[in-house]
Structure 1
Amino acid sequence: MTTATVAAPPASAGATRASSPYRLSFAHLVHAEWIKLTSLRSTWWSIGLVAVVSIGLSLLMAASFASFGGDMPAMSAEEANRQAVQVVVFSTVLTQLLAMILGAITVTGEYSTGMIRSTLTAAPGRIAALFAKALVLAVTMFVTGIVVFAVAALVSGPLMPTGALDLSLPDSSIMPLLGAALYLALIAVMGVGIGFIIRNGPGALAAGIGLVFVAPILVLFFPQFETFQWIHDAASYLPSNAGQSLFMGAPMTGTALETLPAILTLVAWTVVAVAGGIAVLKTRDA
């Protein structure tokens, strides 16, 4: 007597993926990017350097104001807040470069070591991996900025002849500091986009630093003649100038933008960088 054996039909690929306990979700990608970011010594060195430079420059500038003593003109509470904010966020002239560098090297470092192949194998759709990396960098830089600015405000406030920040006027105290932290976060995301576009460490750093630091300085070489006025007008929409309009009220070059146009300008630059990174990531092999 024989027993017939009936083979079970093979499970579909979709059913296998749905029942697998190891399905890689976006939250898992974010967690993986967080581990990669925090396990690098360069991350902590960069964050530490941002803190030291920011707090040190704030103390130096506050001491400079203190040296004027009674020679400082009388100010309203809002004017005193604006001066205190400038002391706290003055360091962004340099720390924006560190944000750009950190964003770029988290991408180009993976290309140089070959780890990007493992990343894209785990996330074959590719775009989710880019968004996860950008999200982790943005949150890290935003939180770092808030903490560093808070410490800088605490240590520089007692030195200011006009007094520390008056938090009862949030429009001239809290909001500019949040704007500066947002700026650093968006600059880091731009670095991620540029990193995916260029894929080469020195090249990405040169492009990023040229955009946020060198380009506004180059505008200074054009005289304020009618022939070159369009250059000065366009300079207002460079990332660093828009950022300085947002949290300092006055850019290095160009004219100051209102809050909403400044934010939209920064978001537009970030979207362009990320869109370029997506286009290259989807069309070129790792």
Structure 2
Amino acid sequence: MIDLLAAEWTKLWSLRSTRWLLGLGTLAIVTFAVQSSLEAYHGWPGFPAMEKARFSPLTEAFSGLSATMLMIGAGSLGALTIVGEYATGLIRTTLSAVPARHRVVAAKLAVVSGVMLATGALVSAATFGVSQAILSGRGVAVSLGDPGVLRVLAANALLAPVSGLVGMGVGALLRHTAAAVVAVCAVLVIVPTFFRPTVHQWLNDLYALVPFYVWRTCLGLPQLRDDPALPTVAGSWAVFALWPLAAAVLTLLVVRRRDV
């Protein structure tokens, strides 16, 4: 298994898309956090009292746009780890060397999960650090000990591995680069963006099964709203766990049952 993990690590980093997506993506998200925090810093004296009362330092660090960029990048990279191997025909060599397909899939899942988790943790910590350092000049920064901060940072970090594994499932299912990337964007971000709480509880319960929605309305908020239409913290963490688990099972089943 160690050799398989090493092989999958080499394959992942041999893709030029890995370095571009992770490197430039991380830099772009951190830069956006700096820009947003500086704008809030310079504009703070002119903010109305109501806007100051509603101000969230964590939103300046990691906004919905940052989450969108992270999820699309991680999901696309996850899809490419599967699609790229099928597109080049390398999968035939891999499965000839290791006929036990479940071991190959397990190694891919482990490597992608580890890389995405490290990337998500780096992005979450970096955006929080630079943002709060800037906002501390106005006395509105938060610390790790403040209520809800650790939960938000953990949720921000986990968006990357969740999206990466979902991307792998989509890539294994479609096996086409463009189609897989478009599907990942649609499933993870584009469609959930239009979800809003409604008076129909069954619809709210359906929305609460989508990672981006539960992050936006629950896990990504330091102060939760007391609204029965919104997801609960426990239910939201369950969604974060079930999506990558379902994607991993889907990847395993598809790779094992379909010809190369």
Scaled by the length of structure 1, the TM-score of the pair is: 0.78
> What CA distance in whole angstroms lies between the structure 2 residues aligned with 1:112 and 1:44?
19
Aligned match of 2:233? 259
Aligned match of 1:235? 207
Please give the residue correspondences for 1:80-91 in structure 2 after superposition, counting only pairs within 5 Å.
Answer: 83-90=56-63, 91=66
Select 2:5's aligned residue among 30, 33, 45. Answer: 30
Task: Give structure 2 stretches of 5+ with no counterpart.
Answer: none
Q: Which has the higher helix share?
A: 2
- The answer (yes or no) to whether the contact 2:116–2:160 under 8 Å persists in 1 is yes
Distance 1:173 1:74, change over 3 A: farther
Query: Are residues 1:165 and 2:142 paired?
Result: yes
Query: Are residues 1:268 and 2:242 paired?
Result: yes
Aligned match of 1:183? 159
> What CA distance in whole angstroms lies between the structure 1 residues aligned with 2:4 and 2:221?
36
Please give the residue correspondences for 1:20-99 in structure 2 after superposition, counting only pairs within 5 Å.
Answer: 26-66=1-41, 67-69=43-45, 71=47, 73=49, 83-90=56-63, 91-99=66-74
Distance 1:72 1:93, change over 3 A: farther
Question: Helix, strand or coil for the counterpart of 2:144?
Answer: coil
**Structure 1 residue 231: Cα displacement:** 3.1
Query: Are residues 1:143 and 2:118 paired?
Result: yes
The one-letter code of the counterpart of 2:18 is T
The one-letter code of the counterpart of 2:160 is L
> What CA distance in whole angstroms lies between the structure 2 residues aligned with 1:152 and 1:63?
13
> What CA distance in whole angstroms lies between the structure 1 residues aligned with 2:148 and 2:214?
17
Question: Helix, strand or coil for the counterpart of 2:230?
Answer: coil
* Identical amino acids, percent of aligned pairs: 26
- The answer (yes or no) to whether the contact 1:103–1:188 under 8 Å persists in 2 is yes
Distance 1:54 1:72, change over 3 A: farther
> What CA distance in whole angstroms lies between the structure 2 residues aligned with 1:274 and 1:208?
15
Aligned match of 1:21? none
Scaled by the length of structure 2, the TM-score of the pair is: 0.85
- The answer (yes or no) to whether the contact 2:79–2:171 under 8 Å persists in 1 is yes
1:219-268 CA deviation, whole Å, 9 max, x = no partner?
Answer: 35xx9465xx53344112212112332233679xx953222211211222
**Structure 1 residue 115: Cα displacement:** 0.6
1:94-127 CA deviation, whole Å, 9 max, x = no partner?
Answer: 2110010000011101111001111222221111
The one-letter code of the counterpart of 1:123 is V
Task: Give structure 1 stretches of 5+ with no counterpart.
Answer: 1-25
Question: Helix, strand or coil for the counterpart of 1:219?
Answer: coil
1:132-180 CA deviation, whole Å, 9 max, x = no partner?
Answer: 11111111111112222222223222332344331233x5223321221
**More displaced 10-residue stretch of structure 1: 192-201 or 174-183:** 174-183
- The answer (yes or no) to whether the contact 1:96–1:187 under 8 Å persists in 2 is yes
> What CA distance in whole angstroms lies between the structure 1 residues aligned with 2:27 and 2:230?
29
- Structure of higher CA gyration radius: 1
The one-letter code of the counterpart of 2:145 is S
Relative CO higher for 1 or 2, CA cutoff 8 Å, sep ≥ 6? 2
Aligned match of 1:20? none
Distance 1:163 1:188, change over 3 A: same
**Structure 1 residue 51: Cα displacement:** 1.2
- The answer (yes or no) to whether the contact 1:176–1:248 under 8 Å persists in 2 is yes
Distance 1:217 1:243, change over 3 A: closer
